[in-house]
Amino acid sequence: MDTSLQNFENRLVDLEIKASFTEDLVEQLNQVIVRQQQQIDALTREVLALRERPAADAGGPAFRSLRDELPPHY
């Protein structure tokens, strides 16, 4: 077999191997992105629930700053 043809085939095999690894990496990154988006969605729902909570507790005591509280040793 001709040396240039052998070199061409070797380069082609190397490119196929790199493409395979790249596909695996892209799939792993996609899974990470999906998982992170799920976490973002869950955190967004939690923040919205926390924002709505004070409105639901409006009948309770008014907001007091911790600066107004005396330390326990006084």
Q: What is the pLDDT along the chain (74 residues), one digit of tens a residue?
A: 689 999 999 999 999 999 999 999 999 999 999 999 999 999 999 999 999 987 656 665 666 677 777 777 75
Q: Mark 14-32 as b/e (b = at least 16 C-beta within 10 Å).
A: eeeeeeeeeeeeeeeeeee
Computed on alpha carbons and rounded to an integer, the radius of gyration of the chain in Å comes to 30
Torsion angle, CA of 47/51/53/57, rounded to 10 degrees? 160
- Per the listing, tokens 């600066």 go with 67
Give pLDDT, residue 36: 98
Domain boundaries, the chain: 25-56
